Structure 1
Amino acid sequence: MSRAAKLTLFCSSLFAVSTIVFVHYAQKNEKAAMHAGVIRDVEQQKIKKERQLDFEMQRALEEEYRKVQNVRDGRG
């Protein structure tokens, strides 16, 4: 095998291996980023649910207080 053929084979092999390694790490990073997005979405849904429960509790307390206290609307 000539020197040029060996050099071409080496360069082609190096390019192929480096491409495979790059794609592997790119996929691994993309998967990690997507997983982080899912975790962030779950946390946001949890916070939203907690806020909704707080809102409903405040509304129930308001209704209780309205029954007990004499509150007038400021409209009229």
Structure 2
Amino acid sequence: MSRASKTTLAATSIFTAGMIYFVHWSQEADKAAMHAGVERDEEKQRIKRERQADFEMQKRLEQEYRKIQNVPEGQNIDGQGS
């Protein structure tokens, strides 16, 4: 094989190995970013569920307190009407 052929073969081999490494690295980075996005979404959903549970608990407590205190339905907490 001539020197030019060997050089061309070496250059294309190095280029091919570099491309394979880059594609592999890129896929791993995309996978990690996607996983982080899923974790963020799950955390947002968990917070939303907690807030909804708190809201429902507050609603039940308000209904319970209204029964105990006999507060008319249209009256606000500060004692003024709607």
* Fold equivalence (TM over 0.5): yes
- How far is 1:68 from its partner? 1.4
Q: Structure 2: how far apart are the matches of 1:41 and 1:70?
A: 43
Answer 1 or 2: higher relative contact order, Cα 8 Å, separation at least 6.
2
Structure 2: gaps (5+ residues): none
- How far is 1:3 from its partner? 1.1
Structure 1: gaps (5+ residues): none
The corresponding residue for 1:42 is: 42
Instruction: Name the TM-score, length of structure 2 as normaliser.
Output: 0.84
**Which amino acid in 2 is paired with 1:53?**
A
Instruction: Name the TM-score, length of structure 1 as normaliser.
Output: 0.90
CA RMSD of aligned residues (A): 1.4
1:15 aligns with 2:11: no
Q: Structure 2: how far apart are the matches of 1:75 and 1:38?
A: 46
State the Cα deviation string for residues 4-30 of structure 1 (Å, max 9, x = none). 111111110010000000000100111
Identity %, equivalent residues = 59
Runs of 4+ off more than 4 Å:
none
Q: Please identify, of 63-72 and 17-26, the stretch whose mean Cα deviation from structure 2 is larger.
A: 63-72
- How far is 1:75 from its partner? 3.8
